[in-house]
Amino acid sequence: MNRISLSLGLSLLLGCSGAPETSSAESMPVLDGEASVKPGINERFLAEDLDVDAFVKRFELESREVFERRDEILDACRLDPGERVADVGAGTGLFTRMFAKAVGPEGQVFAVEIAPKFLDHIQRSAARLKLRNISGVLCAENDVKLAPESVDLAFVCDTYHHFEYPKATLASIRRALRPGGRLVVVDFERIPGVSTEWVLGHVRAGKAVVREEIEAAGFRCLAEPDVGLKENYLLEFGLR
């Protein structure tokens, strides 16, 4: 059993909480006391018939701004060889693979996902590319399931607005960061009157609210580097 399947197996055995309870009063999923902030947003990723190839075509193409700017985003993460990175909401593994090359064989990348089919895909592509420093972690919707103080950087691209339980998820990210560790969040600008109808409907909160939520979870904003994004922003946080 290689490291990815071992880690997946362990996560399956030890990891995920069960399905959320539903609050009868509001018909709102509630997990460990926290109500979902966007019920159903991850349904398509969790579907058994998830078409991974369709998402590769959707996530890994030049007309997607974060793909077009992927090298600048990687540079803004300021990774050193040997570091440990968690790509939280790794999706098809676009950034996971870039991080794996950046941290090198002495480093480690955890591809953290709620969607088992994306993790299968990441496992297969890592094996094909001989990127042996990638481990898949099947996490819970409210817990990244990483060991305490185990990573130097947590990276959350186009995924913060998919967190149904941001308070608990952020607390689990905070626990996973080593002292001096950082959190980088890339997400959509959401500006009424400017952003598209799709963004306004799909993305529940704009940059100011996201920043407030993350700061309230025990982080401080360190920087907002200009990486040439227009539809998205990049915020870097440290621990408070």
Ligand X SMILES: C[S@@+](CC[C@H](N)C(=O)[O-])C[C@H]1O[C@@H](n2cnc3c(N)ncnc32)[C@H](O)[C@@H]1O
Residues near ligand X (CB under 6 A): 42, 45, 59, 66, 88-91, 94, 112-115, 118, 139, 141, 157-159, 162-163, 169
Min. distance of Cβ 197 from ligand X in angstroms?
18
Q: Considering Cα of 37, then 46, then 119, then 59, what sign does the dihedral take?
A: negative
The residue among 94 and 217 lying less far from ligand X, judged by its C-beta, is: 94
Written as one letter, the residue type at 176 is A
Q: Which residue has the tokens 């069960």?
A: 18
Min. distance of Cβ 46 from ligand X in angstroms?
7
Min. distance of Cβ 62 from ligand X in angstroms?
14
Q: Where are the alpha helices (DSSP H) in the chain?
A: 3-10, 43-46, 52-59, 65-68, 70-76, 94-103, 116-128, 166-176, 197-202, 207-216
The residue among 106 and 124 lying less far from ligand X, judged by its C-beta, is: 124
* Six token digits for residue 18: 């069960």
In this chain, which residue has its C-beta nearest to ligand X?
91
Min. distance of Cβ 41 from ligand X in angstroms?
8
Min. distance of Cβ 54 from ligand X in angstroms?
13
The residue among 161 and 179 lying less far from ligand X, judged by its C-beta, is: 161
Listed residue (104, 235, 236, 225) closest to 182, CA to CA: 236
Cα distances from 178 to residues 65, 147, 219, 226, 238, in angstroms, run 30, 10, 13, 26, 10
Min. distance of Cβ 170 from ligand X in angstroms?
10
The residue among 31 and 103 lying less far from ligand X, judged by its C-beta, is: 31
Element (H, E) at 231: none
Contact in structure between 20 and 33 (CB atoms under 8 Å): no
The residue among 83 and 143 lying less far from ligand X, judged by its C-beta, is: 143
The residue among 92 and 193 lying less far from ligand X, judged by its C-beta, is: 92
Q: Considering Cα of 222, then 226, then 227, then 228, what sign does the dihedral take?
A: positive
